[in-house]
Chains A and B, each alone.
Chain A
Amino acid sequence: MTDESFDAGRLDDTLQAIVDGHARQPGQLLQILLAAQDSLGYLPAAALTAIARALDLPRAQVEGVAGFYSFLHLAPVGRYRVLFSDNITDRMLGSGELLDRLCNKLWIERGKLSEDALVSVDTTSCTGLCDQGPALLVNGRPLSRLSAERVDRIAELIRGQLPLADWPSEYFRIDDNIRRRDAVLAGEWPAGQALRAALGRGAEAMLGEMKLANLRGRGGAGFTTAIKWESARRAPCHGENGVRYVVANADEGEPGTFKDRVLLSSYADLLFDGMTLAGFTIGASQGLLYLRGEYAYLLPALRDNLARRRRDGLLGPALCGQAGVDFEIDIHLGAGAYVCGEETALLESLEGKRGIPRSRPPFPVTVGYRGQPTVVNNVETLCKAALVALKGGAWFAGLGTKQSTGTKLLSISGDVETPGIYEYPFGVSVKQVLYDCGAGNAQAVQVSGPSGICLATHEFSRCIAFEDVPTAGALMVFGAHRDMFEVARNFAHFFKHESCGFCTPCRVGTSLVVNCMDKIANGHGSQYEINEIFKIHRLLHAASHCGLGQAACNPLFDTLQKFRPAYERRLRSLDFEPAFDLDQALAAARQMTGRDDADAHFGLAARASGVDS
C-alpha cells in the first residue's frame, strides 16, 4: 500500500472534478468510484475518505460499496490488470493452461501483483464472449480468441509496457456471430421508427397491443411485460417531484449468455426505441441503462448513439415533436457483480449502493428506483416491445407458442461447430437447435446458465418455451468427452464468488458446497459429501433471500441426478472421509522449500511424488 504516494492536493483536485462531474449526487457513488479508479489506478483509503467528505456520506458506507464490487480495488493492482474469463466454456477452450502460461512468461503468481507493480493476472466470472473464447479483460477491455501465441505476445507487450492503444487491434475484435435470424435479427430497424409507431398508437392503445402480444420477460423469469407496464402506469408516484422510471437490465451476467452484447452492439436503436416507448406507455420521463462492467467497451458507441438520438428529436423534450412527451436516457456502469442482474439488486446498485436484493413486496413497479414506480426489463424484452409497437400485438402473438409468444435469442457455446447467436420462435426443440449449431456428440446441455437446468440426451426432444424449458437464452453444450462433475464444480465456484453475502444460507452454503466439491475432486469424497450437497440444496432452495441462492445448487442437483457416475468414480469410499489431509497440509511447506520429492510427502502420496496440487 502506497497511499503516501498520492499527493493530497492532487488527489483532492482529481476527485473534486469527478464528484462535480456527477453533480455531487450520493446516488452516483458507484459511478464516482469507477471514475476515481480510472484516474488513480485503484481506490486508496485517502480517496475513499475524500469522496465520502465530498458527498457528505459516512466513510464506512463508501468503503462498503467499494468493497462489494469485484472491479473496484482497494489495493494496487498494477498498470496491466489481466482477468481471464473463468466460465466453463473458456476452460474447455484451454483458458486454465493459457493463464498459467501467461503467469509463467511474466514470472508472476496468479492473483498477486508483480513486485514491480506492473501487472497482475487473475480470473473473473464469464465475460460474455463464450462464442469467441477463451477471453480475458485487460484493464477492462475484452480480448477474444486467445491462443498460446497470442498469450506469448501479450506477455511481451506487457513487459514492453506498450499502451493498450498500441496493441494489435485484431486482439480486441469482437464479432456478433449471428447464425440464425428471425423476427428481430432479420430486420432493419431505423432509429425512431418503433417509437413513432407507439406515439401514433397512443399510450393506452400501446398497452393494449402489449397485452395482445403476451410478451414475457426475456431475462428468464418470464413475467408478462404488459402486467408490469400496466402496474407501473397505474402506481402513484411518491413525493412532490416523483417520476416513473424505465430501467433496461443490461447486466448480462449469467455465464454462457451473450445475446445482449449483440443487441447492444448492433441493435442499440431498437433497444433505445423500446425504452423510450416503454416510458411513453407507462408515463415515465427517465430511462436508465444498467450496463455490466464487462461491457464497458460498448459505452462510447452507446453514448454517441444517445447523442445522435437527441439531435434527431428521439430523446429529450417533446419527442418527435409531441409536446409534453419527454424522455431522457442515462447509462450506469456495473462493476463486476452477477447478483446485480437481479432487478432489485440492480436498483440498489443504480442508487450507488451495495448490490443487495431488496425484500419483496413491495415490487419495483410500485416502489422501485428512488422509491418510485419503476419498470425493469431485460434488453431483449425491450427490443421485442419495439417490434410489438411496429407490427402489432396480434402479429407478435402469432409467433412462437400460445404461452410463449414471439422469438428468443439463444447464446450458444461449448462443443458446437458454430457458436453464436441463434434466433428461433419459441417452441423449437433442443434437438433442432443442437442440429443447427453442429453439436454432434452432445451428452448434456446447460440451459439458461448455471442457475438454469442441465438436460441429458434423453431430454433433447424438449422445447425451448416457458411451459417446458424456460431460458434466459444461454445454451452451453457439453460433448461426450466432457467431465460433468468439473462442469458442476465450476458452477459451484461461480456461485460462491458471486453470492452477495446478505443471507446466511447463500453466504455460507455456497462455500460449504464448494468445500464438498473440492473434497470430491481431490479424491477424498464419499457418499457423505453427496448427501451434504443434497441437504444444502434443499436449505438454499427454501431459505435464500433471492434467486441466486435458491438456484445456487441447481447444477449440482441436476448433474447428481443425471450424471452420477461422474461423481461416483471419484469417491474414495462410500462412507465418511475426513477433510483434513496430512499430505495436503504440507503443501505450503513444499512450496516454500521448492521440494516435491517423495520424502516431502506423507502416506500414499509419497509413493507417487509429484501429485501435489
Chain B
Amino acid sequence: MSPLSILLDGLPVPFEDHQTIMDAALAAGIYIPHLCHHPEFEPQGSCKLCTVKANGRYVSACTMPARDGMEVENNSPDLNDKRRTLLQMLFVEGNHFCPSCEQSGNCMLQALAYELEMLSPHFDQFYPNRPLDASHAEVLLDFNRCILCELCVRASRDVDGKSVFALSGRGIGKHLIVNAESGRLADSNFALSDKAAQVCPVGVIIEKRRGFAVPIGERRYDVEPISVQAERLRPRRAGEEC
C-alpha cells in the first residue's frame, strides 16, 4: 500500500494517521503562515492565518485532519491576500509600535507582516486602552501587543499546571486575564521559569532588566525571513541568544 499523502500546492506531502495539514507541512519543512499554532500544544485554530483551501473549501490547516489525496492550496495570491488582511486586523486591534518594541525582530506578527508584504495597517487604528501590568518582580505584561493566540494560556494550563492565564470578555472586548482576584501577575504563582513565559509569539510577556540584549538588526527574523525558518519555528526562549 502506498503511504498516505496530500497534494500541497501540487507537491505530494506524506502524512501519518491523525496528522493535520499543518503537521504534515511542518514535517516536510513547508511553511504555512500561522500565529496561534505551536507544535508542542493542542491546535486551536483561532488566528486563521493558516487558512488554506482543501479540496476547494477554506479550512484551518492546524485543525483540519489530513486525508489521503486531499488537494491543498496554500501559497496563492488569494490566500496570501486574505492573510494580509487578517494581519492588518490584528495590528489595528491592538497597539503595536514596532520601532519601540523590545520584541522587534523576534516577533512573529512583525515577521509575518514582512513575509506577506503588509505595507500599512490599512484600517483605522482601534487604539484600545490596555494598561500594563508591571507588578511582577521579573516579568512585565504589555497587553497592548496581545493577539489572543492563547499560547500562554495553553502552556500554563497544559505544561506548567498553573492556569495563570485565561481569556475573559467576548467579541472585540475579549482580553487576557491573570489568575488572581487582584488581576495582577504578582499575585499569581507565575514564575519566569514557566513554559508560559517562553511561548508568547509577540511582546506581551517580557523579561525585566534584559532589554535589547541582542541588538535590533541581528535578531531572529532580522537575519532570515520567517518562512525560511519553517523547520525551526519554535519561539525563542527568554534570554536565549540567537
Contact = CB atoms under 8 A, between A and B. Distances in A.
Given A503-B46, A507-B174, A45 B82 contact: no
Contact of A499 (B43, B163, B172): B172
A502 interface: yes
A545 B165 contact: no
Nearest to B49: A504
A500 B171 contact: yes
A45 B85 CA distance: 38
A501 B174 contact: yes
Contact of A60 (B43, B85, B148, B165): B165
A539 B82 contact: yes
B179 A60 contact: yes
B238 interface: no
Contact of B163 (A58, A498, A538): A58
Nearest to B89: A508
Interface residues of A, number: 45
Contact of B60 (A46, A49, A359, A535): A359
Interface string A534-563: 011011001111000000000000000000
A508 B172 contact: yes
B181 A45 contact: yes
Interface string A476-501: 00000000000000000000111111
A64 interface: yes
Interface residues of B, number: 40
A46 B172 CA distance: 26
Interface string A492-526: 00001111111111011111100100000000000
Contact of B171 (A60, A61, A498, A536): A498
A565 interface: no
Contacts of B82: 538-539, 542-543
Interface in A63-81: 63-64, 66-70
Contacts of A91: none
Interface string A28-60: 000000000000000001101100000000111
B131 interface: no
Contacts of B85: 535-536, 539
B97 interface: no
Given A501-B174, A503-B46, A504-B48, 14 more contacts: A48-B181, A60-B165, A67-B168, A67-B169, A70-B170, A359-B63, A501-B148, A504-B86, A507-B148, A507-B172, A507-B174, A508-B92, A511-B126, A543-B82
Interface of A: 45-46, 48-49, 58-61, 63-64, 66-70, 337, 354, 359, 361, 496-505, 507-512, 515, 535-536, 538-539, 542-545, 579
A510 B171 CA distance: 9
A232 to B, nearest CB: 20
B164 A60 contact: yes
B89 A68 contact: no
B166 A539 contact: no
A536 B123 CA distance: 11
A508 B43 CA distance: 21
Contact of B48 (A64, A69, A499, A543): A543
B58 interface: yes
Contacts of A60: 163-166, 168, 177-180
